[in-house]
Structures are given as structure tokens and as C-alpha cells.
Structure 1
Amino acid sequence: MSNRGQVLCVEGKAQSGMATALAAAADFEVRSASTVAAALERLSERSADCVVSGADLPDGDGFDLFDAVRTVDPDVPVVLHPAAGSEALAAEAVRSGVTDYVPGDAGSDRLAARVTAAVEGSRTAGLNRGPAQVVDLVRSVQSKLVRARTPDAVDRGVCEALVGADPYVFAWIGDHDEASGKVVPRASAGIEIGYLDDIAVRADDGELAEGPTGQAVRTHELQVVQSIPSEPGYEPWRGDATERRYRSSAAIPLVHEGTLYGVLNVYADRTGAFDPAETALLGDLGDNIAQALHRVRLRERYEAQYRDLFEEAPVMIVLTDDSPTGPVVKDCNRRFAAKIGWTREELQGRPVADLYTDAAATKLLEEGGYERALAGEFVTAERTLRTRTGEVLETLLQATPRRNAEGEIVGTHALYVDMTERKRARQVIDQAEAMEASMDGMAILDGDEYVYANRAHADIYGYDSPEALVGSSWRINYDDAGIEQFESSVLPSVEAGAEWRGEATGVRADGSRFPQELSLSPLSDGRYICVVRDITERHRYEERLERQRDNLEILNQVVRHDIRNDLQVVLGYAESIRRFVEDERLDHVEQVVRNARDAVEITETAGDVAEVMLTADTETAPVGIRRPLIDQIEESRAAYADAVVTTEGSIPDATVRADDMLGSVFRNLLTNAIEHNDAAVCEVTVAARRTDDRITVRIADNGPGIPDERKEAIFEEGEAGLDGGTGLGLYLVETLVDRYGGDIRVEDNHPTGAVFAVEFPIVE
């Protein structure tokens, strides 16, 4: 076994290659696993000095793995290394008790350093700080960072957490004042006794800038002094430091994305306290502290911006708190207070319903307005407020849920717009909605004239730019008949407030005409929106479909009548000359009879398929299933005298939703069962069984059967039959069964053959 140290790396879903990178960055023997189960199996085969895990595993997450590993080895260090970290995940890691947490963007070198620290910390437990103490320190600092809401809370929390852990006795955080060059303390904790009052630290130049703090500010790198009593560069502060039992120190720059957020100084009561593991720990803590400071300062900036927006917003804003009797005013902006006539202090804590008229208060409390706002389902609605002097103020209200820092809904945000401003806002909104809704040409008309047209509208009518239409009458785009239609029947209804949609014939700038789909929507100010779409291609497509339908009907007539009738004549003559032919010539006649009969069947099936295509839009209706099934059984017996077609039990009656093509389903299934049968005696059995809501018809034969790999394909269009047939009949069957809302499947018959089972839903 290697003496380099054993690390088990459990790679997450998005962390392929994590083990390879870790092995390259550190002197470890690295094994890998990809699941919780595989990791436990590896540990049962050989113990590890450290386990490194991603956060997202196929059979769990990093915390599931941590719990499982602890049951196998309570002392092995576990480092959580998610692909994408977050404050919430870091906080959960702290709470769960993992040995260390390394964000995914930290890099393999940082991960290697933290794993090395975890391994060395485990091996040297009791020499410096036990693993549990390291965990406690990290957890304490992370907890302070997660909870902090201000920079001061971050500073104080970090300093207090550090001096609560051995061997640190003092910690302080300072700001670099670029103007003066000084490093100015802003927070501290521990054994200080006036230390920060007695010393001076700089970061620009001179003797006071050569200590660890000044160098950390300039280089943005962690600086360590392992022996304050003997370090030459510590001379300006040595006396004050040793008097307070400071024996070693570290200066950690708090840097995030290149920005210095301060410098953290920690002091230990013994020399040599900052070994590589301790240095790596402090470096990572420095990164986390800088990120936390960045976060809270960003939040303070956003909150200040929000406050400015809140105060200076051109609408009235009220923040409410939830209470058992309804919403109460928590705060409001100056505009709301001025409009309603109360001071902000007088409004705070006042029930919102007291500021409404009786009708508006009913909508708020009794008709669910407030509940909808809390649920995020409130839509813009009119609400009437009552001012301090009793005047009525008509407003437009929009309300949304208001949450606290923990994400809990504690009240609402309510925005009120004075109705005198509504008309102007509504016009803007209407125009924006028209622009949004327009898929093709969009225009706004004031009376007869264009006041706006988009590019698509100009293109449809053949103009180079929308400006060519603005100021012109809409009449330039229509002939006399179109103008008369709009003036007599369309515009009067639009002017009365109704919306009109329909088709018309437009006239382009070059005089050509084209069919169009048009909508006219009135606006509140008397103008109206015109949306137009060129439907020339759609008309051509519809005409082409109509021609194809006519051609199909002609072809259907030819196939079902002319060709089928001629084939019936051929079949009749062939059957009549059987008795006059002997020897091998009789086989030729029989072949003619078989082929003619097949051709007749094909024309019948092709005609049915054409009929189905022509009636694709025909609605189905309730149809009894017993009569069509019995008719087709009898016709099969007459057409195929050599086949034995029997029924199993009686055929129950049931009503299904179908049409007059229902019999074609059974005819094609019976024909398929007989004609594709190679048994000495063809036997076909028909059975039907009814349940409460379905009826199933089963047609079984003793033929060659259908291989499993063909059972689905035989119903597809153009799929040839097993003996080379067209397969058209089974395609027709599947098409009709699907139209009727049924289902068809193929099963094996025993000892040989196939069973076609057709199910239909029963209707009243």
C-alpha cells in the first residue's frame, strides 16, 4: 500500500475528471467512485485518509454520502466539493458537520491544499487543533457569514468566531485608506488592551508598510509571521505585540474578483502556529469573508437604490403587514401620504381597509382581494380610496406578495395609480399590446387616417416605408366595393365599440389585388387598431386541396366501378370455363381465378381507403356492432367456400361510435385471415366479448402466424403483407379503428396462427 495518503474521490454528475485533477495537483493516491454505493464498496475494500465528494450524485447527494461514510468510519475527513456552490449549500454543509467545503470554482490546487489540510489535521490530531475544532471554527465563521446582513455584522462575527478558537487570541479587520496610505481598524475581538491605539500600520511605503498587513494589502496575498519575537520586519510592533502575548500572526487580504474589501489580522499565543494546513484554512476563510462582504455591500447598494425608487416613484406605494384582521400599513412613500392627506407616521400600523371606501373595503376583505394578493394571483383592478378630508380618490391597484429575508410571505406590495393618469397609461399600454399581438401588418388609425403603421403593414400593401401610409386614408388600400362594405357594415360597429374580424380584398400600391384576413379593434380614445395578414398562399393551398379531392373522387369512381366491374367479368368467365379444361391447363385457369379474386378485393379495399380519406372530417355516430360483424362473416363464408369460418358463442350487441365503414374493419380482417392461410384446411374463428365499457372482437386463424418483429409494422401504410401482398387492408383497418377511438393488437394463436383483437369503447 502506498504511503502517499489514500483519497477516495466521489465524482458528481457534472464533475468528471475531478479525481484526475486532484491526483495531478497533490501527492495522493486517488481512487474514484461515481455513486454512494460504489464509494461504500471502495471503503470496505480499503480505508481512505480522506473522502472528497461532489454535491450531486446519481443515487443521492454529498450529504447522503457523508452520513453513509460516518457509519463506516466516524473519523475519516469528508470534503464537500460541489460543481456549483452557493451560500445556501455552504450553510447546509456547515450545519451537517462535513470536514470542509470547497466551492467548485476554487480550482484543483485549492482543492488539493484543503484535502492536504484535512488529511494532516486528521493525522496530527491533538498536536495543534483537533479535526472537531477545525470543523467548529469553519462552522462558526460560515454561520456568521450566512446570517450577516451588514458589513459591520460580517466583521464583528468573523473576529469573534476566530478568537473563540485555539490558538487565536486576537483578531482585527482594517480598511486601506488609499488617500493617506494608512490601514485603519474597523472591527476587532480578543485580547487587545489598547493594542490598536498604540500601533500604526501603513500600506504605501516606509517601515510601517513592511509588516505582514501592508504586504498583504499590496500583494493581495496572505502573509505569515511565524515568530513575532524574532522576525526582523516586525520591529515597529514587536514590543506592543509581545507585551500582549502575541507570538505569531497572519494577515489575510479579503479579495473578491480583484477588489480588496479589507485585511484580516489574526494573532496566536505561540510561535509556528500557521503551518500549511492552517494557512490554507485562513486563505479559504479570507475568500469566503470577501465574498460575504461583497454580497452584503451589494445588497446595501440595491436596498439604497430600492429606497430611492420607493420614495421617488411616480405612483403611490404601500407596504403592508399581514394581521388577523387584514392588512395594515407598514410603510408608504411620500406620494401616497401626500395624496391621502396623512403623514407617514400616522399611517403606519393603520388598517388598509380604513383608507378605502366601503365598497372597496368589501372587495379587499370579503371578496378575496387580499387573499389573492398574498397568493400572487391579484390582477390589476380599480379601488377607491378615501382621503383624510373625505374626498374620494379613484385609483388603479396592483398588489403582490411581500416576503421577509427568510422568504416567508408577511404582507403585500401595493401600487396605486391615480385614475387621472390612467388614460395616458392605458393608451401606451394599448399601443404596446397591439404591437405585441401583431404577427403581420399593424396600424393605428384615427378616423380615416393612418397615424401609425409598422414595416410589415407597408410591405403587405406594397409601399417602400410605413411613412408613405401615415397621414393617408385607409381607402387607398381598397376598391370601391371594399370601401362600400367597410363604410356600410364594418366601421359603424367598430365605432360603437365592437371588434371586427373577417376577410376582405386589399389593393396594393401597384393596383394588384390580394385576399387578406383583417381585424379592427377600437381604442378608448376613438382610434382603432388594424391588423392585416396576406392570405394569398392559404387560398392557393385550399384550392389545390380541393382539386386533389376532386381528382381522388374521380379515381375512386374508376377503381370501384369501372375496373372492379371489368374484373368481375373476367372472374365470371374464368370460373365458367373450369369444367371445360383438364390436366395442367386447369391449374392455369385456377391461377386466373385466384388473381382475379385478389384484384377484385384490392379494388374494394382501395376504394374503402379512398372513401376514408374523402370523409376524414365526417363525424362518427352511435352504431350497433353486431349486424356489420355478422354480415361480413356470412359474406366471407360465401366468397371462400373452402374456408371454415365459425363463431365462438353468440355475438353480443353493443353500440360503438363509428360510421358506415365499420364493416370494412371486419371484412379486411376476415379476408386477411383466409387469404394468408397456408393450412390444408383454413379455419377462422370469430369471438366477441362485452364488458361494462368495451367490446372486444377476436378473429383467430390457423395460418403461419406473424413474427413478433412484424406485429406492429403490418399496420403501417405501404407495409407489404407476409406473402408479398399490398398490406393496404390492414392499414385501412388501423386507420378506421383509430378514428373510432378503438385499439387493435396482434397475438399468437395456439398451436399455430394469429389472433387480431379489436377493442371499441361502448357508448350509450
Structure 2
Amino acid sequence: MKLDLNSGSEAKKIGFIGLLLMVSSILICYFHLRGMGHVFTHLFYLPTIIACIWWKRKGLVVPCTLALLLLLSNLIMPFSDFNLTEYLVRGSIFIIVGLVTALLTERFQETERQLSTLMSNLPGMAYRCMNDDDWTMKFVSEGCYELTGYTSHDFIENLKLSYASIIRPEDLEKVWNGVQRGLTLHKPFKISYRITTANFEEKHVWEQGQGICSDDGELMFIEGFITDITNLKNVEKEVKHLNSILKAIRNVNQLIVKEKDRDELFKRACDILREIRDFKLVWIGLVNENNFNISPAASSGIEESYLDSIKITWDDSPEGKGPSGMAIKNQKPYIMRNLVEDPTFKPWKAEAIKRGFSSSIAFPLMYGEKVYGSLAIYSEDFDAFNSAETSLLLELAEDIGFAIHNLDVESKQKEMEEELRASEEKYRTLFGNAEDAILIINDNRLVDCNSKTLEMYGAKRSEILGETPYDLFYPHSNEKTQRKALKYLNNALDGVPQVFEWKLRRKDGELFYGEIKLNNLNLKGSTYLMAMIRDITERKIAEDKIKASLHEKEVLLREIHHRVKNNLQIISSLLNLQSRGIDNEEVQEVFKESQARVKSMAMVHEKLYQSQNLSRIQFKDYILSLVNNLLQTYLRDPSGIQLKTDIDDVYIDINTAVPSGLIINEIISNSLKYAFDDDRGEIKISLRKDDDEMVLKISDNGKGFSKDFDFRTTETLGLQLVNSLVQQLDGKIEIDNTNGVGFKITFRELEYENRN
């Protein structure tokens, strides 16, 4: 049974001290009467010490009282020849012993309180457990409840459940292997995995710990710390997802600018959107104003047959209350977060459940007040669309609506051109009613124009006819501009249609942008030039808005890279702060290596947001920055290492930059730590790109590896990481162990893979 000196009530404590004093007094008298000749007062030390442990400085009353009683008893009825000095010394010793005991007890309890406060305020759970299948807990800090929903007592000795029972079954083997690897190597282990809390909530946790061994090397238990990283995981997931949406928006906007075929535009836009998060189905439907039906125009997904088996409208019938119908009627996004339980989705519920649809969102495709149709997305997840994603997708839907408007306008223009070429009679009919300005040129003079021309220029017919084409261009006095215009005219006269944009000026001096199409025209045996001018000022303004929107999204992407870099830098700083309180050099080295790895990844994001191209970095600049950072980290005097580089100017994306940067980090770090005894030597780095293949060489003139060293089976974490990263790059690695160590790594740039 464990003795707890602080247990019991005050009355029991006082009674116990009194009993000890009485027993001690009886024994002292007994020994004196037996003729020992001296008073044996050492028995009073026990109640003195216990009293000062229980009541700290208040307990000094006991030794002070004993010292006083000792003097008085010897004065009144001395046990032996009275020696004042002797009994003063004995009394002083009682008081000193009590004082020292009280001060040490106070100091111990203050330290215990500080430790308890620290443990209770840690953002996670400290523990001590056995190395068994249940991870049987011997100690668990109070942070256990916030992390798991269970109290610390629930886990101690598996009282109510074992810690292993809350680890997700699919992660159990990963956790066991990670811990055993660290115990085998006698190094701290770091693992992340998932647990299920008392509220059946799934959390991502990060654990760091190490084995505690006896003097003879036998493992006694494991001590470590577990913290919640669910928010970090969610942030990483959200950043990746928003990145993919921004990229999709940029790709669709570029597609809108380039693609003039409406069906192809719709199909490719659906494909781009579906790849954002591997949606089950993305489709674009166009409205039919005569019968209120929504007709599928394009779709993408493995469940496209769904559209053939259902009817969708935008009227007030049950078939008009789905996501697409409601988005068109309300002219705003409409979300159904649970298709299984939403009663308004009943007409399509059976087919949707059969295909694994769980939630849906639809956006109206509009320009101005005109609604052209809807963009609908179906996901296999319930409540799959958050507000940030909805806002970005709404922007995309607005861009597609603008593209439909432009395509409709251009489609009408093409029809007009076809009719003009079909017959002169149709030409004359359309000539007067065309939406664009039309001018007829003969012998470098304007001989005819339509009413739209007069409206566009704000001039009378007499002010237009008879003028030269140059009189309508701006500026008039620019010879270079006139030569350029003459080239367009001559090419059109030679039978080569010309389409170009030109800055024009109205009669009142106002400038506007026009899209000019020149074609030669044979009328009654004579060759004329027909110029069709469309006022594209609004389109230019709209294009400028799209460009500004793209710039805005690039700024956002740059900010995301910046924040990721800052977050990684925070992790590096936290590791640095943690390492300052550690005296173990091996553990400090682990922290330093982890900082270097995090720094190598942070540099990638730093280079990305500093570069013009947000998806690729200049690899030479990145390598030099990384190596210089490692020299500063591992060497007191970096000038002792001669660095020779021969690196091609190549640009690579983040998927290749991160693993290749970590490879360089591990190899250079290994050289700086182990290759040179006096921190002096030479390191060479070269990178060559031959077609699609890159060859990275890193070597030093240091001690090299032992002859029987096999880098593929090494237990060194750094080289294990190098092998794993080379496999990730689908590359191959070779080592030359003569005259130092040389690594040759051949790999190709990884193609982008969508991650959901």
C-alpha cells in the first residue's frame, strides 16, 4: 500500500503528530531511566519532519515547542548535569531540520504544481504507455478529454477502453509499424493517423514519442505527446480544393476567349469542372422558352445516362423544382444538400440514388437579364458545397453566361455574312437593317453605307460618302497607321478576308473600338470592298474585366502559396523553439533535420509566389537557395566548403519541385554532417535536361561510405527518404563510392494528377 503523507483530515493529522510525540517522550524517558546517562532526543525528528511536510512553515511550531520544552524540562527537572549549550544546539537542530523540510516541501509542491499546469495547458495529450497491442496507458495528461472525449482514468490500465480501440482500424498497422521502427532504431518516432472520439467524431492526430529503457537497455515503457491536427488537415484540403477551382476558372476563361464553337465550349467546360473534385456529373442545360423544358447541351461524368432517363423543366410543376429549375427561376444559385431526404427532389430521387448522387448545386447562366440555361453539378457527398466554393463557381457560371451571349452575337453575325454572300437581293435587304456598320469601298472611296454606319459615327450620309477609308481611322496623321490600313485593304482586294480590331473616332471626336471585317465583293462586274464594322467597346471593357478577374485570381493563388510558405515556416520555428529545451544532441539533430526538410518545402512555395509563373519555379535559383541555407544551418564557417554548380536553366512544377528538393536536402545534409572531419571540402551539383529527362548529380570529396554499404537497404532515415522520393518521381538512382560519394538521379517531370 502506497503511503500518502498528505492524505487525511486535519484532526487526524494533529492526532497522529500528538501520538508520535507521546511515544517519543515515553521512549526518551525509558532510555534515560535505563541509565544511558544522556537524553536521546533523536526520536523527536520524526514528528518534526512529518509536521513540516504536512503544514510547511506552520509546522515549525512543533520543533520550536520541542526546543522550548527541552530547555524548560531540563531547567525544572534535569535528566543529567545541565549543559545550556548542548540543549540550545539540540533545540536549534530541531528548528533547522523543520525549516529545511518545510522549504523543500514547498519547493517540491510548487514544481509539481507548475508541471501539472504545464501538462493541463498543453494543446494535446502527454502519455506513458506499454509497448503492447492495446498501448496500455500508465499515465495520461488532462488534455486527453479535449482530444478524445474520454477522461484520463478511462485509459489507465485499460479501465474502460484501450487507446488502441479508438484508433481507426485501417490505421492500426501504420501506427504499430511506425512506433516499432522508432523503438528498433532507438530514435523518436513521428506518426499521424486518425482516431474516433467519444462523440464518434473522426480526428487527425500527430504523435511524437520514444522508448524509455532501463540501464541495461531493456524497454520499460513509451512516453510521448499526441496533438490534434484535424484543422491543419482540413486547411490543407481546402487550400488544394480552392486551388483546383481557381485553376478551373482560369482554364475555362482561357477557353472562353479562344473557343468559338459553342458545343465544344460547353463540353470542355464540363470536363474541366468535373475534374475539380471528381464530381459524379456536371452538365449544362439550355432553356426552351416555348415549353419550359431544360434541354441538356453538354455533360461530363460516368453517369451521363441519367439525363436521358429524366425530365427537367423550369415551370411550377414538380419537375420544375429541382436544382436547375429553381436556379433559372430565382436567377441565383440553388443547393440541395441531401437529395435522399429533400422532398422536392422526389421526381428524380430513384434515378439519383441508383447512381450515387447525394447533393447538387445549380447556377443560372445569364447575361444581363437574359437567362440562357443552367450549370448543374452532382456530388456523391452530402452537403458537398461550401460558401467559398459556391462563390467561385458562381463567377465561373457568370463567365459562361457572358460567353453564350458573345457566341450568340457572333452566330448572328455569321448568319448575316452568309446571307450577304448568298445573293445581292438579300444583301441589299440586310444592308439597310444590319446591326453592324457596313461600308462599300471602290477606288479608295466610300460609295455606300447603311444606316447603322450613320448611327455609329453620328454623321450624315453626305459626310461619309466620298471620303477615303483613312478618314475614318484614328489618328489620321500617323503614316505607320496608314501603311498598316493600306495593307489590310490590299489583302482584301486580293481575295484574302481580313479581320482586325481598330481604334475609330466618331464625328464628335469620341473614340471607340471596332472590329472590322474586309471582304472583296463582285457587283455587276466590278470589284468592291465591303467593310463591316462592329462596335466592340463593351466587349473590350468586358475583356478587360475578365483579364482583371484573372489577375485577381492569380493574386489570390500567390497569396495562398505565401500563406502555405508562412505556415511551413511557423512549423520550422516551432521545431526550433522545441529543440532549445532539449539537451540530447541526437534529438536536437532530429529537430534540425526536420527543420531543413520543412524549409526545403517552404522554399518551393516561396519561389512560386515570387515567380511570374505561379505553377513552375526556376529550379537553378531554388537549388542554390536551398544549398546556401543548409551550409548556414550545419556549418559554423560555410566558407570551408567549396561549392561548384553546373545547373541548366529549367522550370519545373510543384509536384516535381517538392520531392526533388527534399532529395537534394537529404544528400547535401548527409555530406555536411558526415563527409568532412574538419568542415572543409568540395561539393559539386549539376543538373542537365535532355528532352523530357533530367539528370541530377551531387558529389563530395569526403570520406565516403564503407565498402559493404548498400544504400537501398540502409536504415538511415535520410537515405530511406531519398529512395522513397526517387520512386515517387519514377526515377532511378546510382551511387559512386570512389573518391567520396556521388549520387546520380535520373527522373522526368511528373504530370499533374488531380487529387480530391
Q: TM-score range by the shorter chain?
A: under 0.3
- By percentage of residues, which structure has more helix? 2
With normalisation by structure 1, the TM-score equals 0.27
